[in-house]
Amino acid sequence: MKYGIVGFSGRMGHEIDDLFLEKGHQCVLQIDDKTEKIESAPEVILDFSLPSGLEKTIMQVRKYSCALITGVTGYTAEQMEAIRTLGQEVPVVQSFNFSLGIQLMLKMVNLLKEPLKDWDVEIAETHHRFKKDKPSGTAKMLAAAVGREVPISSFRLGNVPGDHSIAFGSLGEIITISHRTLSRRAFAEGALLSAEFAIRQKSGYFTFTDVLSQK
């Protein structure tokens, strides 16, 4: 497919570009803060940059009437609304976490929460020392999936890209589901799945959970 990247020279931009090229796709649009390089019309634009660029991104998506995959975090409520509205014209996939593993982890928690409703639950997350917020958004998503109050412990350690675990315990046994991000590659793979999904849709607003369930 022909794709474009907003935030091309950022770390996530590079990661997406590397994976898409490796899979034989063609980069035809590269947008950064001050530079723009457009070769031909993209079928999908991927935006993993900052909320401030949303207006410009939407303009480009409309110009080429192409799909949009956005993994930007920190949108305002108005911006979220603008993205949903855009979904009436073109296919849009929006998510805060494009890792397949985390999505499957949520599914597994869903499977366990009823049979283990009397067990203790504990969530832990470990991230690099530069991460300011505690607990991580993903840990909060896991807690929400359990559907009852769950303690979350946060570790800040070296340069760990992101570990999450959820443990269920009874008097006789412990079940633990753990997820470890090895690199941003995990998110690039989720973006690829989303792009492959999006270019087959006419229009619509989708989350990454939708992408995986309709695959």
* Residues belonging to the active site: 127, 131
Residues found in the chain: 215
DSSP letters along 16-37, please? HHHHHHHTT-EEEEEE-SS-EE
Give yes or no for residue 148 binding its own copies (CB under 8 A). Answer: no
Q: Which is nearer to its own copies, 78 or 114 (CB)?
A: 114
Residues 6+ away with beta carbon under 8 Å from 176: 165, 166, 167, 168
What is the rounded CA–CA span in Å between residue 62 and residue 131? 35
CA-CA distance, 6 to 158, in Å (whole number)? Answer: 30
Cβ burial of 14 (10 Å; 0-12, 13-18, 19+) is: middle
Minimal distance, residue 38 CB to its own copies, in Å: 29
- Pattern 179-198, binding to its own copies, x per CB under 8 A? xxxxxxxxxxx---------
Question: Taking the CB of residue 169, how many other CB atoms lie within 10 A of it?
Answer: 14
Which residue of 11, 52, 81, 111 would you call a contact of its own copies, by CB under 8 A? 111
175 near its own copies (CB under 8 A):
yes
Q: Which is nearer to its own copies, 43 or 189 (CB)?
A: 189
Do the beta carbons of residue 150 and residue 123 sit within 8 Å?
Answer: yes
Residue choice 73, 88, 178, 214 for contact with its own copies (CB under 8 A): 178
The contact mask relative to its own copies for 119-138 (x = CB under 8 A, - = no) is xx-x-x-x--x---------
- Tell me, residue by residue from 56 to 95, as one string, x for binding to its own copies by CB under 8 A and - for no binding: ----------------------------------------
The reply on whether position 214 binds its own copies by CB under 8 A is no
- Here the tokens at position 105 are 């982890």
β-pair type (120-127, 152-156): parallel
CB of 71 to its own copies, least distance (A): 14
165: nearest Cα among 103, 99, 105:
105
Nearer to its own copies, 58 or 139 (CB): 139
User: Which residues of this chain interact with its own copies, rule CB under 8 A?
Assistant: 99-101, 104-105, 107-108, 111-112, 115-116, 119-120, 122, 124, 126, 129, 151, 153-161, 167-189, 212, 215
